[in-house]
Amino acid sequence: MRRVRRPRSLAELGLAEPDINGRVAKPRRICEIPVARAMVLPPRARILGLDPGSLRTGYAIIETLTGRVGYVVSGTVRTEGSTLAERLQEIFLAVEQLTREFQPDEVAIEGVFMHRNADSALKLGQARGAALSATFAARPRVFEYAPRAVKLAVVGTGSAQKEQVQLMVRRLLNISGPLGADAADALAIALCHAHSRKVHSLIAAGLAR
């Protein structure tokens, strides 16, 4: 028979414990989520999209205001280090400089996903950590999206090919110049977040009630 652990304190039951004077404070609800209010997003924001990789890391900056999205800049960080540690340092320094220059309010990045090759997954995870931690000095709000969710938001199908993503990114942002695959992926991630901001705010507002 499964043993049920006894609560160690009144706080675990959502009840208040008396202080040294015997007074009992108002009970705190277990379901309180104070961070929900902080996630209600402002109508205007500068978004940094990141598509990390140990050899190539795509980046993109867009701005959103009351539903309108504008293109700022995009590109690819191509690492040249002979070791993984050197490449991670290059990614960190490049994204840190980018963050310092453009001061993004929010960062959108692909979430962690399973990879068939364990070594590739490890390198991708470390590149992702280097890119993301390089933005922390600006204290941005960080959001993660699954690859299929990004493709669905931009193209309309979660199984879209890279060429389709590039085409839709160009159309949505009116980009006429050259656009690499990594930069296009970073723009797609940023656009996915721009389209999802209203949903984040509605959910947060509902939780805060």
| pLDDT number for residue 201 | 62
Taking the complete model, does pTM exceed 0.75, yes or no?
yes
Residue 64, strand partner residues: 45, 69
Which pLDDT value is given to residue 26?
46
User: pLDDT for 77-113, tens place per residue?
Assistant: 999 999 999 999 999 999 999 999 999 999 999 887 6
Angle of helix 162-173 relative to helix 147-154, nearest 10 degrees?
50
Collect the ranges in the chain with pLDDT lower than 70: 1-39, 113-115, 200-209
pLDDT for res 73: 96
At residue 101, the pLDDT reads 97
Task: Please give the class, per CATH, of domain 41-208.
Answer: alpha beta
Strand 44-51 to 106-110 pairing: parallel
Residue 10: what pLDDT? 38
Domain ranges of the chain: 41-208
* Residues designated catalytic: 51, 110, 182
Residue among 107, 109, 106 at smallest CA distance from 124: 109
Q: What is the pLDDT of residue 157?
A: 87
For the chain, how far is it from start to end, CA to CA, in angstroms?
40
pLDDT at position 200 is: 66
Q: Residue 190: which region, alpha, beta or left (left: phi > 0; alpha: psi -120 to 50)? A: alpha
Residue 85 has a pLDDT of 96
